[in-house]
Amino acid sequence: MTEIGLPSGVRACLFDLDGVLTPTALVHAAAWKETFDDFLRERDGDGFRPFDATADYDEYVDGRPRADGVRSFLASRHIELPEGDDEDPPDKQTVHGLGNRKNDAVLEKIRTQGVKPYPGSVRYLEAVRAAGLRTAVVSSSANCRDVLVSAGIEHLLDVRVDGATAKERHLPGKPHPDTFLAAAADLGFDAARAAVFEDALVGMDAGRAGHFGFVVGVDRVGQAAALRQHGADTVVEDLADLIGATA
């Protein structure tokens, strides 16, 4: 292990955004809850069973592309909606309409609250760059660039593969490994020379499926055991914990 807590062969670091570099996983969870609770209340009345911002969020939506998150949660409640399309207004009861409603809620929260990065993640990004490794952000979010700019960390990342670029390049989202593999390739390395940093269970699955050199689970919510079960080689609560780690 090196002084940045990675096997010495690793030359590229692929970071998830929400929950790894920025605390925006909380923003997303709150926006999903608003969206689904409004929808379920309209559908089932006041006795509706609310979206659980921890359990439902972790299991069905965290880390997935937006429309996949909608489909996955609705399927868990045996609800079927028409697909609709990207242009659907946020009040339309379609998969994309609900997705757009959630996106509006996220943008509103980012605009009004701003985004601050995790201080330990900034320190770690600086440490890996100082050690000569290359860095990428790999996010399912279509708002990735806005968040990086708001958080002031865009300059610490050599490559960005996000919801927008994945769509352009026809890359399936997490739990498929394709977005991580594309970021590693953009940095000039194959999977064996790249480490994945993720807080979502689907991100662990993507890391395992892509045969990456190392997978770091970032545990912000007390799910270390689940992260290990899904393939984490190590689990930390803060990326700065990797600095100076020898095991």
- Give the residue numbers marked as catalytic: 16, 18
If the CB atoms of residues 30 and 81 are measured against Mg ion, the closer one turns out to be 30
Shortest distance, position 90 Cβ to Mg ion, whole Å = 23
Closer of 23 and 90 to Mg ion (Cβ): 23
Residue nearest Mg ion, CB atom distance:
19
Give the C-alpha separation, 30 to 227, whole Å.
22
Smallest CA-to-CA distance from 233 within 224, 223, 221 is with 224
Residues at the contact surface with Mg ion, assessed by CB under 5 A: 16, 18-19, 199-200
Q: How far is the CB of 223 from Mg ion (least distance, A)?
A: 12
- Minimum Å gap between C-beta 20 and Mg ion is 6
User: Is beta strand 134-138 parallel, antiparallel or unpaired with respect to 12-15?
Assistant: parallel
Nearer to Mg ion, 34 or 62 (CB): 62
Q: Which is nearer to Mg ion, 189 or 197 (CB)?
A: 197
Minimum CB separation of residue 218 from Mg ion in Å reads: 8
Shortest gap between Cβ of 10 and Mg ion (angstroms)? Answer: 20
Residue 41 or 229 having the CB closest to Mg ion: 229
